């Protein structure tokens, strides 16, 4: 059941990306065998962690 608990904490959002950036993210996701949402979450997490360490 922890998986269900985690899903309940997720929120769906909508945003725009340049087509080329979306394409790069999709290629990365496929190469890493991840879904696009997890790639975006990872990228955002890394960005925010990097900003905190400044």
The stretch 29-40 carries a mean pLDDT of 97
| Percentage above 70 pLDDT, the chain | 87
> How confident is the model over 5-24, as pLDDT tens digits?
655 789 999 999 999 999 99
Maximum pairwise Cα distance, the chain:
38
Q: Which residues contact 40 (CB under 8 A, 6 or more apart)?
A: 25
| pLDDT at position 8 | 72
- Compute the distance between CA of residue 34 and CA of residue 36 in angstroms, rounded to an integer: 7
**Alpha-carbon distances, residue 29 vs 17, 50, 52, 54 (angstroms):** 16, 21, 26, 28
What is this structure's pTM? 0.76
| pLDDT at position 1 | 44
């Amino acid at each position: 059941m922890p998986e269900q608990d985690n899903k309940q904490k997720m929120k769906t959002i909508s945003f725009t990306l340049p087509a080329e950036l979306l394409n790069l993210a999709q290629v990365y996701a496929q190469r890493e065998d991840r879904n696009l949402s997890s790639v975006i979450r990872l990228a955002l997490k890394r960005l925010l962690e990097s900003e905190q360490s400044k």
